[in-house]
Amino acid sequence: MLKYSVKRILGMIPLLFVISLIAFMFVHLIPGDPARLIAGTDATIEEIENIREKYGLNQPLYQQYFDYMANLFQGDLGQSIVTGRPVLDMLVERFGPTLSLTLASMAWALIFGLLIGVISAVKRNKWPDHLSMFLAVSGVSIPSFWLGLMMIQLFSVQLGWFPTGGIGGFETYILPSFTLGAGVAAIIARFTRSSLMDVLKEDYIRTGRSKGLTEFKVINRHAVRNALIPVVTMSGLQFGFLLSGSIITETIFSWPGLGRLLINSITARDYPVIQSEILLFSLEFLLINLLVDLLYGFLNPKIRYEEGS
C-alpha cells in the first residue's frame, strides 16, 4: 500500500505541471487588464504602467510563464497584485477557515445523508422513504444563497440564536456548515439509498436473515458496509469541491476562506492568486482521490493495490 501511495504521489508531479500550464494559459486568456482593474477607477495611465512594470505584466507571456515556473520550483507562488503580499501567506491564511468549515459541513452531510439514505432504503416506498426523498430533493434543489439568507433571517435576526456571519466560536459554524452541508447531505442520501437497495437484494443478506439475525444487525453489520463504496467515492468528490471553498456560502456568511479569495481575485484579475488557487485545488482533488482509493481497501479487503489487480 505504501509503495502504491508513493507511486501515485510521484505520478502527480507531471500532472500538476500540465495543470499549471493550463491554469496559466486560461487565466491570461480571460479578457481584462489586471493593471487597469487594480489601479482603480480614476487612475492615471502612469499609475497603470507602474503596476504593469512592477508585476512583470508588460513582459511577453512565455517570459511570464517561465518566471512563474522558476519561482514555483523554489516554492515561491509570487505576490498578489492587489495586496502585494506573498500568495502563499494568503493561501495559508484562508485554508484553515475553509478546511474547518468543510469538515463541519461534511460531518453534517454524512450524518444526515447516511441516516436518511439508510432509512429510506429500508422503509422503501413507505412514508419515511417519501419524506426522506422529499428532503433530499429539496436539499439538492434549494440554492445555497437562498437557504443561507433564510437561515440568517430565521436563526439570527428573528430568534437571535446564532451570529449572522464571521468566523469565531462554535456558534459561528452552525449556519454556514449547515447551508453548505445540506446539498451534500442530499446527494449522499440518494447515493446511499440506491446503493443499499442494490445490496439488500444480494444473496448474503438473505442468508443473514434466514439464519435468524435481527434486521438491525443485517443492515448495520452486513449491508451498509458493502453499500458504502459508491458513497465514499461520491463523498470524496464532494469533499474536494467543498475544500475549494464555497464562493456563495463564504460570501453570505462573511467567512474568510478560499472561495471568497478566489472570487475577489478573479474580479481583480489577480493572476498569481488565481493560478495558485487552481493549482491548490487540483492538488487537493488528487490527494482526495488517492485517499478514496485507499479507503476502498479498508471497506472491502478484497480490493488490493498490487500491480495488475
Q: Looking only at residues 198 through 237 of this chain, which bind other proteins when binding is defined by CB under 8 A?
A: 219-221, 224-225, 228
Nearer to other proteins, 206 or 225 (CB): 225
Nearer to other proteins, 14 or 84 (CB): 84
Shortest Å distance, C-beta 193 to other proteins = 14
Shortest Å distance, C-beta 50 to other proteins = 4
Nearer to other proteins, 138 or 153 (CB): 153
Nearer to other proteins, 12 or 50 (CB): 50
The pattern of x and - marking residues 69 through 98 that bind other proteins according to CB under 8 A reads: ----------x--xxxxx---x--xx-xx-
Shortest Å distance, C-beta 113 to other proteins = 10
Interactions with other proteins, residue window 253-282 (CB under 8 A):
253-257, 260-261, 264, 267, 269
Q: Using CB under 8 A, which of the segments 2-10, 13-21, 107-115, 236-244 binds other proteins?
A: 107-115
Nearer to other proteins, 6 or 67 (CB): 67
Nearer to other proteins, 181 or 240 (CB): 181
The pattern of x and - marking residues 177 through 196 that bind other proteins according to CB under 8 A reads: x-------------------
Q: 131-141 burial string, b = 16+ CB within 10 Å, else e?
A: ebbebbeebee
